[in-house]
Amino acid sequence: MIRRKPIEDDDESPDRWLVSYADFITLLFAFFVVMYAISSVNQSKYNDLTSSMGSAFSGVSPSETEGHIKNRPGTKNKIKGQQSSLIKPLPLSHLYSEKLRRERESMTNMGIDLSNALAPLINEGKVRVAQNNRGIRIDIHDSLLFSPGSAELAATASSIMNEIAALIKENQRLIQVEGHTDNSPIHNATFFSNWELSAVRASSVVRMLSDAGITDNRLSALGFGSAQPVSDNDTPLGRSRNRRVSIMVLYESPNQDDAALEITPQKTGKP
């Protein structure tokens, strides 16, 4: 039997790997060139985008930033009246900001009406009207409402409370009444401490506001005792300022849903 002579492979060049290596380097270079080309930023478009995003989330009209845009190089020949923003403000955020503005303006007007109506007492330092991030706060000196150490409303309290109730009755916002005392301790058969005294005083004012026609679902009472002073308790004048009842007309309304997440028992892995 004739045996086939094995085919001898041609000798390969020992430097053939350089061809593949060169191809790889060329492709890698081309890849980085493409990446660099697509990553270059058009500064003009970038500025337009950032301006548009800012106006969309802040609710600021694009026309308010038009002067700044016109001062940029290359924008002098823009057509007059051309919209400078690529993205219009979000309708929901704009409506929400407008709603908050109207609510704050309404509360401010109510505060002005209260201040005008209570001007004589404000000038005497017996009443203070202020607006904060929670709403309108009316601080009433305890001497206008109660006898010392008592939670029974004085006869003179009805006139001032009816005047306040008439101005806040139609607002339809939550009303939180807070009782405050100085740091002088009290302990008798009626009140064990300043906590009880402040809470019962707040409840007495709530009852009078309810009798004046304010719906019960708007009212709440809190007693803070001496925990939230507005002045120094080391002087008689400071203690006098701390003995007060505060009526807070809040921005929140009774029909506002309080979103809550229920927390269920979890296994801790402990025996």
What is the average per-residue pLDDT within 157-184?
Answer: 93
Q: Total structural domains in the chain?
A: 2
Burial of 69 from C-beta contacts in 10 A (0-12 / 13-18 / 19+): middle
pTM given for the model: 0.62
DSSP, collapsed to helix, strand or coil, labels residue 144 as helix
110 and 33 within one domain? no
pLDDT, the chain, mean: 81
The pLDDT of residue 69: 44
21 and 101 within one domain? no
Rounded to whole angstroms, the Cα distance separating 118 from 121 reads 6
210 and 167 within one domain? yes
Q: Which residues pair with 246 in a beta bridge?
A: 139, 178
**79 pLDDT tier (thresholds 50, 70, 90):** very low
101 and 232 within one domain? yes
For residues 92 and 112, is the Cβ–Cβ distance under 8 A? Answer: no
Tell me the residue range of the domain where 120 lies. Answer: 97-250
Q: Is 153 part of any domain?
A: yes
Q: Is 215 part of any domain?
A: yes
Q: Is 76 part of any domain?
A: no
Residue 180 pLDDT exceeds 80: yes
230 and 115 within one domain? yes
172 and 217 within one domain? yes
130 and 218 within one domain? yes
CATH of the domain at 236: 3.30.1330.60
Rounded to whole angstroms, the Cα distance separating 25 from 197 reads 85
Q: Is 91 part of any domain?
A: no
Pairing, β 244-250 against β 135-141: antiparallel
Rounded to whole angstroms, the Cα distance separating 59 from 99 reads 12
114 and 236 within one domain? yes
> Where would I find the H helices in the chain?
17-39, 43-58, 66-70, 91-117, 119-123, 157-168, 194-211, 236-242
66 and 102 within one domain? no
| Residues constituting the chain | 271
Q: Is 258 part of any domain?
A: no
212 and 118 within one domain? yes
Rounded to whole angstroms, the Cα distance separating 65 from 85 reads 9
Q: Which residues pair with 129 in a beta bridge?
A: 138
Q: How many CB atoms sit inside 10 A of residue 249's CB? A: 23
Q: Is 43 part of any domain?
A: yes
Q: Is 237 part of any domain?
A: yes
107 and 237 within one domain? yes
> Where would I find the H helices in 40-171?
43-58, 66-70, 91-117, 119-123, 157-168
pLDDT by residue (tens digit) across 6-22?
A: 555 555 666 777 778 88
234 and 149 within one domain? yes
Q: Is 259 part of any domain?
A: no
